Amino acid sequence: MKNKTQNLLIVEDDIGLQTQLKWHFSQYNVAVAANLNDAIAAIRLHEPQVMVQDLGLPPDPEGVTQGFALVQQALEINPHMKLIVMTGNDTNEHALKAVSLGAYDFYSKPVNPETLELIVERAFHMHHLESKNRTFNLSQSSNLEGLITSNDKMLKVCRLIEKVAPTSAACILLGESGTGKEVLAKSLHTLSPRNDNPFVAINCAALPENLFESELFGYEKGAFTGAVKSTPGKFELADGGTVFLDEIGEMPLLLQAKLLRFLQEKVIERVGGRKLIPLDVRIVCATNRNLDEMMANGSFREDLYYRVAEIQIDIPPLRERSSDKVLLANYLLKKYTQEEKLKISGFSEDAINAIESYTWPGNIRELKNKITRAAIMCEQKYINAEDLGLKSVDSSPLNLKEVRESAEINALKTTLSATGYNVSAAAKLLGITRPTLYDLIKKHNLNTDENSH
């Protein structure tokens, strides 16, 4: 059965061999050419994923060798195309030169169609794999620094943060561990008028209870054994800026009362001091605890909750952000390989399927951990499911129509978002015409207005 999505170009001046190869590869959409000019025209028209070229094409009327010229021009026009050159038995140095110019592989004549077929199949598979990695490697679709997403739920969170950031409202970020609460807290600070002043993060779960007050509010000389000089606390250091109280659900009740007083009066007292110190600090909190349950059992003050939760922002876990899993994975892999100068091109198909199907209980933190480990351990060009410590899964869809429709919608949303909802740019990136893109947008009832997302 012919694969309507796989285009193969055969460039061969021997008409008999050209016909034989065209017949042998009839399962693909085959185009043929016998010289450089016809080959260039065919590349522009058919956009083949794979091209098989006789490197020994005769020179043109002006005596210029067509073989190497075609290799260079073909890959300039279609840099992602896999080019396989065919050479004579005694011209391996020419084949190696072609590879150095960017050819994917070479094959020595005389032609054995079955052997050449294996090379062509592998070239199509490699093109598909690299194409899939490029698709998921689109730049982030949010305007928040450090946040990579194309997911509707997360884009709503981004829009909420963009609206709230310029105000002085106290915000609480609710979400599971590893969902990126600190990244969002930093965005609230960065997009606010306070961004020239400090952003001070405090992990309430990491502070011993006996040091809590002195860490937050500072202490005067002699306030306790070892207090040899007066020391400002984290709140004073953040004056004019933002304090991020991570895991506020772990804050002791006594400190909750003191935090409430600060929020009401905007003044603090250092431990052992009597002087009231006025501060201008915005409070952003986060927790993975259920504060409703904690208020019900008395372990979290209800009056404090209403002070710190003027705006509540719920962050969805990674398992509910299916379109973000591979997008984030590619971003994290690219970032790590660039930092460590590793030669890894992306993920194998079984790795992509495993990433998409896994529930990621540890969220983005777990994803980053697994990718870092896989990048260190990987010995191939592509990371596979085993490198990630994930089970390889069967990618065969149970409902092909449903899977195709879901993939189409995700591709449209991601591309529109990545191009700032520029329909012309999105159509070009997707390789379709503007009318076709408009038809697809209408078919799936998608919006093209950035503000509506």
Cα distances from 276 to residues 219, 253, 260, 283, in angstroms, run: 12, 22, 15, 19
pLDDT at 141: 45
Q: Could you give phi then psi for residue 93, rounded to 5 degrees? A: -65, -30
Evaluate whether residue 221 is within a structural domain: yes
Q: For the domain that residue 352 is a member of, what is the CATH number? A: 1.10.8.60
Q: Give the distance, in angstroms, between the CA of residue 202 and the centroid of all CA atoms in the same chain.
A: 28
Evaluate whether residue 2 is within a structural domain: no
Instruction: Assess whether 292 and 348 both reside in one domain.
Output: no
pLDDT at 87: 84
Cα distances from 382 to residues 127, 329, 335, in angstroms, run: 13, 13, 15
pLDDT at 422: 84
Closest to 187 (Cα-Cα) out of 219, 147, 154: 147
Among 314, 347, 365, the domain boundary falls at 314
Instruction: Assess whether 303 and 362 both reside in one domain.
Output: no
Evaluate whether residue 419 is within a structural domain: yes
Among 88, 107, 136, the domain boundary falls at 136
Yes or no: say if 371 and 327 are a contact pair by the CB < 8 Å rule: no
Instruction: Assess whether 411 and 383 both reside in one domain.
Output: no
Instruction: Assess whether 304 and 322 both reside in one domain.
Output: no
Name the stretches of the chain with pLDDT < 70. Answer: 1-4, 60-64, 89-91, 133-146, 393-403, 448-453
Instruction: Assess whether 164 and 306 both reside in one domain.
Output: yes
Long-range contacts: 119-127, Cβ < 8 Å, 24+?
Answer: 119/84, 120/8, 120/25, 120/50, 120/52, 120/84, 123/49, 123/50, 123/82, 123/84, 124/6, 124/28, 124/49, 124/50, 124/82, 126/82, 127/49, 127/50, 127/80, 127/81, 127/82
What span, in angstroms and rounded, lies between the C-alpha atoms of 90 and 340? 41
Instruction: Assess whether 237 and 263 both reside in one domain.
Output: yes
Yes or no: say if 271 and 230 are a contact pair by the CB < 8 Å rule: no
Evaluate whether residue 145 is within a structural domain: no
Provide the b/e sequence for 343-367 (b: ≥16 CB within 10 Å). ebbbbbbbbbbbbebbebebbbeeb
pLDDT at 402: 62
Provide the b/e sequence for 109-137 (b: ≥16 CB within 10 Å). bebeeeebeebbeebbebbebbebbebbe
Instruction: Assess whether 158 and 304 both reside in one domain.
Output: yes
Burial of 210 (0-12, 13-18, 19+ CB in 10 A): exposed
What span, in angstroms and rounded, lies between the C-alpha atoms of 47 and 35? 17
pLDDT at 2: 58
Evaluate whether residue 394 is within a structural domain: no
What span, in angstroms and rounded, lies between the C-alpha atoms of 243 and 336? 29
Instruction: Assess whether 199 and 74 both reside in one domain.
Output: no
**Beta strand 267-268 pairing with 277-278:** antiparallel
Q: For the domain that residue 242 is a member of, what is the CATH number? A: 3.40.50.300
Task: Name the domain count of the chain.
Answer: 4
User: Hey, which residues does 83 pair with through a beta bridge?
Assistant: 51
Burial of 453 (0-12, 13-18, 19+ CB in 10 A): middle
* Domain span including residue 191: 152-314
Instruction: Assess whether 309 and 211 both reside in one domain.
Output: yes
What span, in angstroms and rounded, lies between the C-alpha atoms of 359 and 161? 26
What span, in angstroms and rounded, lies between the C-alpha atoms of 261 and 232? 18
Q: For the domain that residue 37 is a member of, what is the CATH number? A: 3.40.50.2300
Evaluate whether residue 76 is within a structural domain: yes
Evaluate whether residue 1 is within a structural domain: no
Among 314, 337, 367, the domain boundary falls at 314
The two three-digit tokens of residue 92, written as one number: 């391996």
pLDDT tens digit sequence for 138-193: 444 455 666 778 788 888 898 899 999 999 899 999 999 999 999 999 999 999 99
Instruction: Assess whether 291 and 351 both reside in one domain.
Output: no
pLDDT at 291: 93
Cis check: omega of the bond before 232, within 30 degrees of 0: no
pLDDT tens digit sequence for 288-310: 999 999 999 999 999 999 999 99
Evaluate whether residue 128 is within a structural domain: yes
Instruction: Assess whether 305 and 329 both reside in one domain.
Output: no
DSSP secondary structure code for residue 231 in this structure: B
Instruction: Assess whether 188 and 295 both reside in one domain.
Output: yes
